């Protein structure tokens, strides 16, 4: 079992690097979708003892929403926005990878220092989750397009979710559903905003936003 969990975690770390390195927007969306499916799998693997109905249904719905529904929304936003299919990072892909590696080292170090009260089934769990969150934030600050920033938010949220799975939190079902609903509506509203941004600015580069920045006088 822990072999399987470890493989899933390694795959999750790899998706983080793929997200940082791919230049095609569509590929990035696929990567985040894959993350969603892996998260569902992870949550099922982390169940202790017997499988319960909610214990399977919740991860399944997570995988469904994060792996299929949200990517579909983002693809639609991308198509309607008729954007150039390039990611257009503010920093080069090489630099992104280097930053990603530095973040991975930091996450491993942090994972060593944060001692969980009970031994997790894999020592990789906490570092992998933290790494995913950091990658999400890295994508948000280093990418120009609104769609990519929404993707970064999703990756960050996935990382946080992975941490929840890692410490085998048993949150009440209602709360789990509420969190999932919030993420769904969040990306939905972002999708609408992306559509409007593309119409208003005829591109979706948020770095064209500069009109209203204050400077000390």
Q: Using CB under 8 A as the criterion, which residues of the chain lie in contact with other proteins when the complex forms?
A: 114, 116-118, 133, 137, 140, 146, 149-150, 153, 156-157, 160, 163-164, 167, 169-172, 174-175, 178-179, 181-182, 185-186, 189-190, 193, 196-197, 200-201, 206, 209, 211-212, 214, 216-217
Q: What are the structure tokens assigned to 70, written together?
A: 């949200």
CB of 41 to other proteins, least distance (A): 19
Residue number with CB closer to other proteins (92 or 141): 141
SS3 label, residue 193? helix
Q: Among residues 71, 194, 168, 181, which one has the least CA distance to residue 116?
A: 168
Q: What are the structure tokens assigned to 167, written together?
A: 């410490």
Phi-psi region of 168 (alpha: psi -120 to 50; beta: other; left: phi over 0): left
Token pair 């470890």 is found at 6
Residue number with CB closer to other proteins (82 or 182): 182
Sign of the torsion angle spanned by Cα atoms 95, 157, 87, 28:
positive
Residue number with CB closer to other proteins (84 or 178): 178
Q: Among residues 98, 167, 90, which one has the least CA distance to residue 130?
A: 167
Residue number with CB closer to other proteins (50 or 214): 214
CB of 98 to other proteins, least distance (A): 23
CB of 8 to other proteins, least distance (A): 19
CB of 78 to other proteins, least distance (A): 16
93/181 Cα distance (integer angstroms): 33
Residue number with CB closer to other proteins (7 or 206): 206
CB of 67 to other proteins, least distance (A): 19
Residue number with CB closer to other proteins (96 or 158): 158
148/146 Cα distance (integer angstroms): 5
CB of 148 to other proteins, least distance (A): 11
């Amino acid at each position: 079992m822990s072999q399987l969990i470890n493989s899933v975690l390694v795959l999750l770390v790899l998706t983080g690097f793929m997200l940082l390195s791919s230049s095609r927007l569509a590929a990035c969306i696929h990567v985040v979708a894959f993350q969603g499916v892996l998260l569902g799998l992870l949550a099922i693997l982390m169940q202790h003892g017997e499988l319960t109905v909610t214990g399977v249904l919740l991860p399944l719905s997570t995988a469904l929403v994060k792996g299929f529904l949200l990517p579909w929304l983002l693809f639609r936003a991308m198509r309607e926005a008729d954007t150039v299919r390039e990611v257009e990072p503010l920093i080069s892909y090489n630099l992104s990878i280097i930053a990603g590696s530095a973040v991975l080292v930091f996450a491993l170090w942090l994972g060593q220092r944060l001692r969980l009260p009970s031994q997790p089934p894999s020592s990789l769990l906490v570092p992998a989750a933290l790494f995913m969150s950091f990658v999400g934030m890295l994508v948000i600050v280093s990418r120009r397009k609104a769609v990519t920033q929404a993707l970064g938010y999703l990756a960050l949220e996935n990382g946080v979710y992975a941490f929840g799975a890692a410490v085998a939190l048993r949150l009440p079902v209602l709360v789990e559903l509420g969190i999932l609903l919030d993420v769904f509506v969040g990306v939905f509203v972002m999708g609408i905003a992306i559509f409007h941004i593309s119409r208003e600015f005829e591109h979706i580069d948020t770095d064209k936003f500069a009109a209203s920045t204050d400077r000390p006088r």
